[in-house]
Structures are given as C-alpha cells and as structure tokens.
Amino acid sequence: MSLGYKQLTPLWLLLLSMACLPVRCAEVSRIIGGQFAAPGQFPHQVSLQLRGRHHCGGSLISDTMIVTAAHCTIGQSPSQMKAVVGTNDLGAGNGQTVDIAQLIIHPQYNAQSQDFDMSLIRLSSPVKLGGAIQTIQLANADSNYAADTLATISGFGAVNQNLQLPNRLKFAQVQLWSRDFCNAQNIPGLTDRMVCAGHPSGQISSCQGDSGGPLTVDGKLFGVVSWGFGCGAKGRPAMYTYVGALRSWIRQNANV
C-alpha cells in the first residue's frame, strides 16, 4: 500500500509508539512512543467498535453525540457498530457500551482527498456522565494557535508490526505546524478544513491505527485524526480535520 498522497492512508493508529505498515517498519527503532493513560485521564475518549472489535477513535461531545472521522463511518451500518466510553483498558470490562442510532457523515466528505473528514454519531441512549465519562468542549470557530503549540493525541492502537492491540489507551504530545509550511503548496491536497501536527523529525505524530480520535489543545477538541503519509516520515506531519472550520455544521447537527 502506498503511503504517499496519491493513495491517502487514513490514520488507523494514533500513536507512533504503536506500529507502521510493513513497508515502514524499518523506521520503528527511531519512533518515540507515547505513554499509557491513567484511569479517567481522557474521559472524553471513545472506542468505536465494529462487529465487536476496536475500529476507530472518537470524542464524546454530549451525552448522546460523538465526533469522529467520516472515513471511519462511510459504508458502515449503525447496527454493526457500538461505542465504548469510560475506560482506559478495553479488556477490563469497566466501560459503558452503547448502541449507535445514526451516523451523520459530512455531506461534503471526499473519500479521495479526505476533505471534510468528519462524522457525528448519535447514540441510541444517553451515556451516564460522571467520573471517567465526561464530554469535551469544542474549539471555537475562530480558534487558532501559534506554531509549535503543544497538542495531545490519544487512542487505542496496535503496539507492534503485527498490529497487535493491547486494549490500553495511550497518549502523546505533538506540535502544531504553522500555515507557512502547512499549506497546499507544500502539501498537495491540504485544505482549510485540515491542520497539521507532528514533529519535524517525524518522531512524534499520528500513524495508522486509530482514526477519528481527538487532537486536543488547552482541553478543547481542536482536531480529529484524519490522514498522513505514513509513520515517522521526516518533514511530513499528520493531518487532522480542523474542528473550528466545521464548528457550525457540528452545532446544526448535534446541537452542541
């Protein structure tokens, strides 16, 4: 599978500690991993389950609504998916599992370019908020941050080249990239609905394994894991759907 832009690779893994596709595994030795999350550290974190297995990440924005990536839900049936909230260990059995009533995919989502890569998920019943289950506040429509601002990514993902899932939540910090580099001239296909984050060395960034998960800044949801060029590519950040650009759409469809 190509890891270049011509065949975009949705980011099925959030943390570079986890794994890469076989063609990139030679780079694993220089990839800096994240840390395991403590119980309740990321109470907004969602595991979207497809046919009983972890499929994508998401963020709880109300007791009935989740934000995730469109490429996580396109072509899927709500009856085949569930949401698990309130746990940092999917094997512990201590989270809430909730049925999904509706998948709301952004009408302008482009599967080839990953533009407008956002979906809302409406739960069949409200989750019980409190303790290890909390909603996350959304970044404002005009929110922006200086280059090199630290952001946090979190998610459940594989830990080796065999894509073995440990069931435990991990997190890492990444740097936001400025529009001086993060633009369509330097990254073909980049749009105003995307923001870049990672490390110039490629050592810390998102990677294949947990698309749809949160990129947070100052405790607010600023981005959604979307696509990239592969794991640990020097000078190549990962791309996140910019929540601020789609804030009005979220409000219209989720009332949040």
Residues known to be catalytic: 71, 117, 211
Distance CA 49, CA 208 (A): 16
The CA dihedral of 244, 175, 227, 189, to the nearest 10 degrees, is 70
Distance CA 228, CA 233 (A): 9
For 251, the token pair is 């409000």
Radius of gyration of the chain (CA): 16
Q: How many Cα atoms within 13 Å fall on the side-chain side of residue 215? A: 35
**Nearest by Cα to 214 from 65, 42, 86:** 42
**Nearest by Cα to 223 from 118, 111, 124:** 118
**Nearest by Cα to 76 from 59, 55, 60:** 55
